[in-house]
Structure formats: C-alpha cells, structure tokens
Amino acid sequence: MDLGLAGKTAVITGASVGIGLAVAEGLAAEGANIVMAARGGERLSEEATRVANAYGARTLPVSCDVATADGCRDLVESTDAFGGADILINNAGTGSNETIAEAGDDKWQYYWDLHVMAAVRLARGLVPQMRARGGGVVLHNASICAVQPLWYEPIYNVTKAALMMFSKTLANEVVGDNIRVNCVNPGLVLTPDWIKTARQLTADTGGDWEGHLQGVADEAGGMKRFASPEELAHFFVFLCSDKATYSTGSTYFVDGGWLRSV
C-alpha cells in the first residue's frame, strides 16, 4: 500500500529512543526524509546513521533541547537542509513523580516547557513551512494520563492534558491550510524508561522486572500487556499518510483497552 510519504520531510522530537525512534523508522521505511531531534548527541547520531543505512533514507540528527526556546529555534532552522518540513511529530517527553504539595515551581515549569511550549514553539516555526508547501501534518504524542490521571504524576497528567487541548486548538486554526493536526494518547508502551524503572524497583527483590511490568499490565486491564513502540509507530505513520486525509482535530486512544470511559 502506497501511503504517499515518499519524499516528505518529517521532524521528530525525542527521536533517539523508544516511540520516537520507532516512528522515525516507520516513516523512513515509507521513503520520508527524517530530521531526528534529541538531547543526547552521540546516541542520536548513531541511530540516525543506522536508520539511514537500514532504509536508504536521508536522515539529519539535530542535538537540541526542545524544552528551551533556543533548542526549538535550532530545530526549526535545521529543516532548511530539506527545504522545509511536511510533518511534525511532537514526541519528546517523560514521566514525573511527585505530589502537588511537594513539587516546586521549577519542576512544574520544566514539564510545561517540555510538553506544551515545545509544541507551541515548533508549531510557530514549522506550520508556516507547511503552509508554503501546500499542507502538512502535526501529531502530538500525549498520554492516556491526559484524561485518566495516575496519582503519582500530577504534573505529567496536567501538562499532557494541556497538550491534548493545544492539539485541538491548533487543528481548528490551520484546518483551512490543508494542515491536519491530531493527538495520540498511548497507554502502556514498553519503552526503555519503563524497563529501567522496573529494574530499579526489583533490584532488591530478585530482579524480576518482567514480572513487575506484567503486574502493571494486569492491573491496567484490557489486553493486559504492554505495546511495543513499533505497534504505536504504525498508528503514527498511518495518521501521517494520504490514507488519513479526513482526520484532523481528533484524539486517538491507543491503549489496549486501559481507558475506563467512553
């Protein structure tokens, strides 16, 4: 099936690992050029080279911190190498662990900048490029926690909810420019962060990190398993493609049945 992505240029944040890397691979396999952004320059360069070699794609690693205005500016300027961007995947993010009573302003501000302002700044920089190229796609990787919060990460819950609303608002603003904007709310996805945390939590009790994660999945319900990053990436690639041209302003839950509402 031709998804109409060959020759398109996609900008992906948080692209050196996990979901972002899987999306980069999925789009590269369809013939897209990939601008891969992350903070860790060495790992990012290695993965960009691997993706290019594996799929015959043109890749550009951009080491930057999109939680800062300067980092977003550098990423936007990097797209000059491809003449502009057609696709933006706002994926960079991380979980939090705090209580509202104990978390300081600095932590709230950091997560706001990472999850929300990065999306705002990159939209301001890249949407004009898409408009000039006749259209484009913006996807936001939020979380099921935007509507079904976990008690131990209130900052993550709040900022992901804000990202979901930003996605809808941006969609309304650019719908007349042939730019489609959607949000994806994943559930449990087996990223390196989950594995790292599980190893830490089980280090003193036998090290059964896989059993720990299965317990998390069992408690979530639904399919009672984690998705692979590649499973989620397939959905992102579809939403970027010519097969999803009537989809904009929506939020899609890809959570294996974890969501407990309609």
Whether 70 maps to a domain, the answer reads yes
Clarify whether 55 is annotated catalytic: no
Residue 229, pLDDT above cutoff 90: yes
Give the model's pLDDT for residue 55. 98
Give the model's pLDDT for residue 1. 86
Whether 3 maps to a domain, the answer reads no
Q: Output the average pLDDT for the chain.
A: 97
Is the same domain home to 149 and 216? no
Is the same domain home to 141 and 156? yes
Is the same domain home to 20 and 65? yes
pTM above 0.95, yes or no: yes
Residue 232, pLDDT above cutoff 90: yes
Is the same domain home to 51 and 165? yes
If one counts the domains in the chain, the total is 2
Report pLDDT digits (tens) over 134-184: 999 999 999 999 999 999 999 999 999 999 999 999 999 999 999 999 999
Is the same domain home to 139 and 58? yes
Report pLDDT digits (tens) over 22-76: 999 999 999 999 999 999 999 999 999 999 999 999 999 999 999 999 999 999 9
CA-based nearest residue to 238, from 77, 87, 101: 87
Q: Coil, helix or strand for 237?
A: helix
CA angle 228, 116, 18 (to 5 degrees): 20
Is the same domain home to 168 and 179? yes
Is the same domain home to 79 and 65? yes
Whether 2 maps to a domain, the answer reads no
Is the same domain home to 99 and 214? no
Report pLDDT digits (tens) over 72-129: 999 999 999 999 999 999 999 999 999 999 999 999 999 999 999 999 999 999 999 9
Measured distance CA(113)–CA(89) in Å, rounded: 16
Is the same domain home to 153 and 247? yes
Angle between helices 154-174 and 118-132 (to 10 degrees): 20
Is the same domain home to 114 and 143? yes
Whether 262 maps to a domain, the answer reads no
pLDDT band at residue 254 under the 50/70/90 scheme:
very high
Is the same domain home to 164 and 213? no
Structural domain that includes position 183: 9-189+227-254
Q: Name the region of 90 (left: φ>0; alpha: ψ -120 to 50; beta: rest).
A: beta
Is the same domain home to 164 and 50? yes
Which CATH number goes with the domain that contains 134? Answer: 3.40.50.720
Matching residue, tokens 């209130």: 154
Q: Which of 55, 111, 152, 156 is catalytic?
A: 156
